[in-house]
Chain A
Amino acid sequence: MNITIAIPKGFLHDGSYQYLASLGINLQIEKDNRALMFYDRKNNIKGLLVRPNDVNAYVEHGSADLGIVGLDLIKEQNPDVVKLKDLNFGNCKLVFAVKEDSKYKNINDLPANITIATKFTRLANDFINKTGISADIIKLYGSIELAPIIKLSDAIIDLVATGKTLTANRLISLETILESSAILIANPVAFKIKKSKLLNF
């Protein structure tokens, strides 16, 4: 296969397929594999279906030439990859949120030594340093909204697309930390060796 592209499961999956389809690329499952690899024989392209968190690793190490990943994960993992293009789908925001009935209406109101639950520890630390709030971070891997409800944390830093999950869990955003969307990335060596091909994406 000439070009290998890492495609994330989950939130960016459908958009990634639509984006590739718009380029005339149609990845199909072939029998005898566990539906983790897809092929477009006509265009000589192989797709790898991976967890969103792993796209950067596949591309950084050169196992995939290209990958589609959220800007949030690029900023969080800081991989050594070429950031080729903003694909303008999968828009979402990384927000700092507290409980709706919280007495804190602004991040400047926050007391010292609050705890923040998040998946994004690097971005959370950057936020703490930038704003000067004093906080401790609890790393969670999912269902972040639960943390303030059961008083595991005072606040959360998490991604929101529509805000429905926040509202449903009676949380309210105090500040947007990052506006994210799907980014096309490339391995730096593959980008140079296959430049003319990869620039068509």
Chain B
Amino acid sequence: MKKILRNPKGSKDWLPDEVIKQDHVKNILSSVFELWGYRPIQTPILINWDTLQVGSNKLSDIAFKLIGQQGELLGLRADLTTPIARVTAERLQNQALPFRFYYIGKVFRYHARHTTNERELYQIGIELIGAKEGASDLECLKILIDSLEKLNIKDYLVLFNHTNIWNELFNYFGDIAKDLYKALSQKDFIRFNSILENSNLSKNERSFWKTLVTIKGGKSAVQDFKNLLKKLKNFNLTKIFMYLNPVFELFDKKNAEIDFSLTSDLDYYTGIYFEVLTPNLGRVIGSGGRYDLLITKFGYDVPAIGFQLCVEDLLLVLEKQGKVFSTFKPPKLIPLNKNLKATFNTITKLHRQKKHATLKLT
């Protein structure tokens, strides 16, 4: 028997019925993005290794590395934000800002996820480039929420936090806050508590940290956090609270909540960052945030914000919700006439009426 050759580990084929489902998600999202004035952009899958490394250490650690014929180091893109930052700096420096881009494309990672073996995933998302922190953050969040609602993702939750909250905690507490942050990003509360127990923090400071990790929610969570801050001396976050006011005004009823102990998945965020959860899937289905320094690393000093959603995960969630996708409509089969031209004319006529028709082949 002939040996069947298979795909490499972690890659998969999309057969026609599955592509129809994928298109459903892509079409809904691209129409949301286009209504908001976003334009599609594409970048190469193959990129220079340097580009990958400039972008993010966390991503270059899990990226595919390739060697070109001349020995040059190349990689497969592991996200789409990094190549879009690169093309913006390389080709778009003298154009009017802001840029509103959206993308749909595959990313490649040795370990795309912890829980599955996938090594290539479709990401879909937006980048809003050239607008500083403020209304543009609200636009980005609004588009994210519009996207989830248009897709009919049930009971979604957008959790967000701001890097300056952590930066202020690092300034105030020093190294111990960095250790605590690390424990939280490793999801290790046992370590988090043991760092606190073995520290020389005051009783008030310890209770500050223990309460901090429990605060999550809408406007009331901000009030809880303000009350909690009274435990600390001279710790001021007025600017952040001013920033958060309009966020809650717009999205308080929209399943968007602040989580003060949320850590960021990527190392390039410089402002608000967020992630999307649903009770139907045990992992985050999308994330995003402000990354004002990333494009600067490629030689163009412009601020930016964006988000990405994982198409495979959105499909899984929709299927778990019981969504029925439209299926393939078989075309009308036209028998071969001796006069092939007449047969093709019949088919063309049907096509003009937007009817599906094709040759009946035996």
Q: Which residues of chain A have a CB within 8 Å of any CB of chain B?
A: 60-63, 79-86, 183, 187-193, 195-196, 199
Contacts and interface: CB of A to CB of B under 8 A. Distances in A.
Interface hub of B187, B277, B281 (most chain A Cβ within 10 A) = B187
B259 A192 contact: yes
B189 A189 contact: no
Contacts of B315: none
A82 B284 CA distance: 14
6 contacts: A79-B114, A83-B190, A85-B189, A188-B283, A189-B277, A189-B278
A82 B281 contact: no
A190 B282 contact: yes
B157 A192 contact: yes
B190 A86 contact: yes
Contact of A61 (B115, B190, B259, B279): B115
A75 to B, nearest CB: 12
Given A60-B114, A183-B190, A187-B282, A195 B277 contact: no
Main secondary structure of the interface of A (DSSP, over half): mixed
B282 A192 contact: no
Contacts of B278: 189
A60 B277 contact: no
Interface hub of A60, A81, A83 (most chain B Cβ within 10 A) = A83
Contact of A84 (B189, B216, B282): B189
A82 B282 contact: no
Contacts of A196: 214
B188 interface: yes
A31 B259 CA distance: 41
Interface in B157-190: 157, 159, 187-190
Contact of B282 (A62, A85, A86, A195): A62
B254 to A, nearest CB: 16
